[in-house]
Amino acid sequence: MGSCIICGTSVDGHICDLHEEDALFEFRGNSADQLNVGRYYRGNVDGFAEFGVFVDIGDSVTGLLHRSELDQRLDSLDWEPGDEVYIQVKNVRDNGNVDLGWSIRQAEREFRGVLVDDPDVGHSTLLEEDDESGNADGDGASAQSPAADTADADGNADEESANDSESPDTAVGAVGETNDADDATEAAVVASSGSETAEDGMADDVTAESGADAATAEADTEAPSSDEPPETVTVGSLDDHVGDDVRLEGEVVGIRQTSGPTVFELHDETGTVDCAAFVEAGVRAYPDVEEGEFVRLDGEVRERRGELQVETEDLTVLDDEESDAIEQRLADALDDEARPDAASPLADDDTVEALSGDLVEAATEIRKAVLTERPVIVRHANTADGYLAGAALERATLPLVTDQHSRADAQYHYFDRRPLEGGVYDMDDATKDTSEMLDNRERHDEALPLFVFVAAGGTRESLDGFDLLNVYGAPTVVVDDIEVDGAVTDAVDAVVSPSLADAPDTTATTLAANVAAHVDDVREDLRHLPAVSFWEDAPDAYVDLASEAGYDAEAVAQLREAVALEAHYQSYEDKRELITDLVFGDDESDVGGLAGHVAEQFREKVDEEVGTAVANLEHHTVEGADIGVLDTDAYSHQYEFPPETLLLDELHRSVRDEVDAVVGVATDTLYVRTDADVDLHELVVDVDEDVRGSLRTRPLSAPPVAG
């Protein structure tokens, strides 16, 4: 029997069933039926086919990673034959074919342990490391000398001998008489890391073994005592302290168990460093220390294979007062690092100027998320304004994600756009998001994402969804052009809205593009977006900016209409590549380009629908106001383009000179389009009381007013 390298549970081998998916396996078998379905394996790219990638697992088995399992297009992969990849065995067929799944972890250090899957042993064993002879002891671990120096951050032990020439007695005598580590060799003094206890740091009963010959040296030598603690330094200054004993204070952001030491990733305001603590090969050191705790760590700074590492001598979890002080210090440092340098607006705009502080705050939250490896999820309305605004933030955030992560799929894993129906974040959406983020946290130790709501989330109908995210502490930002409800402002972490500063109306894209310009230097890419987002009366400053970017009035209109059409189809999909081609493509004002082609379809469909709606618009006079009423159930194409919301927008623009408002009435939905100042929620209550029982069987709901 052994113990799980992650939780310590007694198992036959070194991993329990619960944590199998947290470990990486190296396959030593020679037949597909010896693979364990569900496990993650190290593999090597063998070749490509139209339908996927062939991956070698071990020396004798090849599986297929189908293109449907990839999170990017097959032709966008930069893999070469022989490249190392990490995959999951999803199925082994009766004919020996192996179906593989994609692992979002594409680096060994992202797994919580590395084990050998050897069918001849019958259970998982520890990975043999630095064992040139290939011989392993009885449990499958490499036969390492305890007197050898402690392993590096990847669990690889140095090959220093405890004593190459002197007898054990001579070595111990040298230590006692001269206290000179060079005379007795480093390992005889500190073999230390391999044998000292986590509590008292004493090196007891050190055993030095060599080949078939073993001699025993008992070193009851107490580590030199000192009343003075090591110097407290920062991670960023460790280059200047190689070979020194130091003290670090920070947050444990990762723990991984190797076949040698336990490695704690310690983060402070200046960086992150691996700290190796060794009790016994494969045994968890300081088992009470958990990720997310703030600690004080004493140890010696060493350089291992070109990287700094701290050999841990003592690790203490700090009490509440000290922990709070360090947490605040790290938070302040992160804010300083994430806060963007002063960036001017894209154009002269009174609204943007009035919201400059809020824009910087929203950009800071996004930059903080990227720096702390927190995924960013942009939730936007499935409208042209929503897609354009989301695309602006995507354009700015993806380069930061690429800089922060070396993984090939980082842009897909750490940033996502998810459109919302009607701009409302309801419980269905929130439940889906919450389930996914909790699954990723449980299975992959992933941080909870930052949710950025764009052209969505500003009304009280989204409060239940925000409350669910708040239960788990997921940060939230709202960027919306409508009047944001006060309860929403209280429920989220940051808000950008003209209503908060009594500023002139604008579009969500204008706000999001200016946030994006603070997130990263992508101003040149975004210049045309604000003008595109205005269906009419675009400010001259943004029209000029679009013109400078190569988009004349016709190109701006075509792009807006093309995005609106594509926003309707597959409305819950981000369509990242297609939207990128449309919004940031090279065709610009080229009428024959992609945007021109899609816009032609938009205009044909909308003109037909608007013509039908105008012909069937009923005119009423209510307290001196001319109201146009349309039965949208009878005179609009259900589930076809254009949707009712876009149809009512276009209808209102067509007849606004004739009526004061356009009202669309459906079975259970009321649409209102007007330039007047209307409290939509009050209107819905009044209508609900007047027509209860005659129009529908459940209370009316309505989207926000669209002017």
CATH number at residue 118: 2.40.50.140
Of 281, 312, 279, nearest in space to 127 by CA: 281
Q: Determine, yes or no, domain membership for 182.
A: no
Q: Determine, yes or no, domain membership for 470.
A: yes
| Vertex 121: Cα angle to 115 and 125 (nearest 5) | 20
Quote the number of domains for the chain: 4
238/347 same-domain check: no
Specify the DSSP class assigned to residue 151: B
284/418 same-domain check: no
Residues 6+ apart with CB under 8 A from 594: 562, 581, 582, 585, 587
Alpha carbon distance 402, 425 (integer Å):
29
559/460 same-domain check: yes
Pairing of strands 84-92, 61-66: unpaired
pLDDT tens digits, 31-40: 899 999 999 9
624/584 same-domain check: no
C-beta of residue 102 within 8 angstroms of C-beta of residue 67: no
459/578 same-domain check: yes
Alpha carbon distance 516, 404 (integer Å):
17
pLDDT tens digits, 203-228: 333 333 333 333 333 333 344 445 68
Predicted TM-score (pTM) of the model is: 0.63
Q: Determine, yes or no, domain membership for 215.
A: no
pLDDT mean across residues, the chain: 81
Alpha carbon distance 54, 47 (integer Å):
5
Which of 20-29, 286-295, 446-455 is predicted with the least confidence, judged by mean pLDDT?
Answer: 20-29
pLDDT tens digits, 384-397: 999 999 999 999 99
C-beta of residue 124 within 8 angstroms of C-beta of residue 137: no
302/345 same-domain check: no
280/307 same-domain check: yes
Q: Determine, yes or no, domain membership for 248.
A: yes
| pLDDT top residue among 706 and 428 | 428
461/320 same-domain check: no
pLDDT tens digits, 74-120: 777 778 888 899 999 999 988 888 999 988 888 888 888 888 888 87
* Residue 665 structural domain: 616-691
Residue 417 Cα to chain centre, angstroms: 12
Neighbouring CB atoms inside 10 A of 156's CB total 16
For the stretch 428-435, contacts whose Cβ atoms lie closer than 8 Å and that sit 24 or more positions apart, written own/partner, are 429/379, 429/465, 430/464, 430/465, 430/466, 430/468, 430/469, 431/468, 433/377, 433/379, 433/469, 434/468, 434/469, 434/472, 434/474
Which of 41-45, 162-166, 296-300, 418-422 is predicted with the least confidence, judged by mean pLDDT?
Answer: 162-166
Q: Give the domain-ending residue among 283, 305, 335.
A: 335
Q: Give the domain-ending residue among 568, 597, 626.
A: 597
